[in-house]
Chains A and B, each alone.
Chain A
Amino acid sequence: MSQIDVPRTPRAITRARRRRAFALHWGTYRKSRPGMIGLVVLVFFTLLAIVGPVIVGANALDPSSASGPLLHGPSFAYPLGTDNFGRSVLALVIAGSRISLLVGFAATLGAMVIGALVGITAGYFGGTKIDTMLNALTNWFLVLPWLVLAIALASILGRTLFNIIVVIAITSWASTARLVRAQALTVKERPYVERARALGAGHGHMIAHHILPNVFPVLFANAVLTVALSILSETTLSILGLGDPTAVSWGRIIEQSFNAGALTSGWWWWLIPPGVAIVCVTLAFTMCGYALDEVLNPKLRAR
């Protein structure tokens, strides 16, 4: 005869605890105005990326079948004007959101996996030879000029979307690894971890059940900030001519308008919209990232 709903299994207890924690964090996050503005902008662009192909057919992006006037300024039929193939710039920007966000998320996922793997291993085995070696590797990648490394890698691997993602992931995991290692080092010293070790927990159990959950908040806030950097990296690589020539990303639209002579001919409607989209999205990710950092890692705020 229990008056309140008491969960019985350990799993249910964990689930209830997570739900409470989420509600608590969400309540704090909602009070951050920059965080909420960023979230709204992100939801908008994510929806745009998902429904993009419904609004913009493949025909509108195909240079050979585009029907609009060439290089026309904004008009009623083409709100953002047209490019040198007669394609609507608005359609290009909508289609570009898909590729740019895809590259941003996929590259970040790659960077987080490498960074978490290296950082947790180094931190968990802190002070040993493994830590020294992994730490040296991390510091080495931090020191390398990332853009030049990315250029070298991208020019060798070739211009495909997958390679761009790989290149950005390889050049951006190091700062994550350093952050995760520092967190793992402090978590490792907590009493309950010592208790688990005394009870005979193996390395795998310790990392999966004690280190990873405590490193996760740091990792998550860092991931949101890394997406912004990845989108900027994709833009830079595209402007330098290393983007996938078959994909329409915001960076590639900028590159095409630049190479077609938009600057000297004053075709501003072709150049400005993709850049504004990039600024909105990176700004939104940055604002969400800072807001999340304050919610999830209040102790780190002094950094």
Chain B
Amino acid sequence: MGGQHYLARKIAYAFVTLIFVLTFNFFLFRVLPGDPVGILARSERLTAADVAQLRSQYGLDQPIPRQYVTYFENTVQGRLGVSLRSGEQVSSLIAGRVWPTILLVGLGTILSTIVGVTVGIRGAWTRGSRFDRNTLYGALVFYAMPEGWLGMLLLILFAGTLHWFPAGGYASADSVGFHRILDIANHLILPCLTLTLGYIGSYSIIMRSSLLEVMNEDFVLTARAKGASDGVVRRHHAVPNAILPTATLIFLSFGYVLGGAIVIETVFSWPGIGLLTYDAIRQLDYPVIQAVFLLSSATVILATLLTDIMYGYLDPRVRAS
């Protein structure tokens, strides 16, 4: 029963990691430099009475172990605290921002996967050709670009100068029905393009090197010796064996959905979790930052677990070890 054992071990590992994140998150914001209210008091010049009132409101006057238990119970029940600025529940603040982020990052990941994998396969198959050299250098240049700056370049060109696309936001306020969908799509194009360009490089490089490795394997030579055509060797023998590392990387990167788009959402005022985080940074709204950190870590842990399970399913050798 190697399979079940493998699954149980992976789930237990993910669970332990999650508890570790919870604990880390608790101490990070409470113990390290003083509690959130303390930091706020330093930067905002609150009176002593305000500080005491905020402290008891957030339960920060309790002993640390007691606070930890309360924090743990609250988090497990989905109560992530109250925003220091707007007074709203952090969980409802985040819930209202989830879909724009999933739309942006989901679409960006799908597009960059398709283009990146295609470019990587063609580059490896025609190794050393002009296409291979140019795409490799292109991938390195995009890899060396700060994502936010790339977004700003596209924005200043296509929105600021050519006026082809809106300069930011999610949709115009007055649009309804089918027009609203078109409107959102129009706002989505530039941030999505930035994200896609930012990820294509690493996907195509991974796919290329993974395929190059497989191309030296004996079974590829055997397939050629059998007289299989170039296309058949590529599609049926080489690529299926090379796709696994790339699939893992792409699957893992879904885990960075929440955290990955912070800069791009900021540049394009795209009202997702990233923009929420940016606003929280500017206003020192610690409960929000804390919740985003917790949620994005949990997403990554979940994605890692799913990747492990998928890997074990696709490659029986992993299960056995």
Contact = CB atoms under 8 A, between A and B. Distances in A.
Contacts of B140: 283, 286-287
A151 B260 contact: no
Nearest to A284: B144
A4 interface: no
Interface in A229-270: 232, 235-236, 239-242, 251, 254, 258, 262-266, 268
Interface string A106-148: 0000000000000000000000000000000000100111011
A152 interface: yes
Interface in A268-303: 268, 271-272, 275, 278-279, 282-283, 286-287, 302
Contacts of A140: 17, 20
Interface string A213-242: 000000000000000100010011001111
B159 A241 contact: no
Contact of A147 (B144, B152, B153, B262): B262
Interface string B253-289: 0011011101100110000000001100110101001
Contacts of A157: 33
Contacts of B28: 152-153, 156
A147 B262 CA distance: 9
B148 A235 contact: yes
A145 B146 contact: no
B99 interface: no
B148 A156 contact: no
B321 interface: no
A178 to B, nearest CB: 15
B160 A265 contact: yes
B259 A148 contact: yes
A140 B20 CA distance: 9
B146 A232 contact: yes
Nearest to B299: A145
**Most chain-B CB neighbours within 10 Å: which of A240, A266, A286?**
A240
Contacts of A151: 262, 277, 281, 289, 293
B290 interface: yes
Contact of B290 (A152, A228, A232): A152
Contacts of A153: 28
B313 to A, nearest CB: 21
Interface string B140-153: 11011111110011
Contacts of B144: 228, 232, 278-279, 282-283, 286
Contact of A156 (B20, B32, B301): B32
A224 to B, nearest CB: 13
A155 interface: yes
Given A148-B293, A240-B281, A275 B145 contact: yes
A242 B284 CA distance: 11
Given A155-B289, A239-B266, A286-B140, A147 B259 contact: yes
A266 B160 contact: yes
Contacts of B263: 236, 239-240
B215 interface: no
B143 A286 contact: yes
B281 A241 contact: yes
A38 to B, nearest CB: 11
A149 interface: yes
A275 B156 CA distance: 13
Contacts of B149: 235, 239, 254, 271, 275, 278
Given A143-B297, A148-B293, A155-B289, 20 more contacts: A143-B300, A144-B21, A145-B256, A145-B296, A147-B259, A148-B258, A148-B277, A149-B293, A152-B290, A157-B33, A236-B147, A239-B266, A241-B281, A241-B282, A262-B156, A266-B161, A275-B145, A275-B149, A275-B152, A283-B141
Interface of A: 140, 143-145, 147-149, 151-153, 155-157, 228, 232, 235-236, 239-242, 251, 254, 258, 262-266, 268, 271-272, 275, 278-279, 282-283, 286-287, 302
- When A and B form their complex, which 8 residue pairs have the shortest distance between CB atoms, in order from nearest? A145-B259, A282-B144, A275-B149, A283-B144, A235-B146, A148-B259, A239-B148, A145-B296
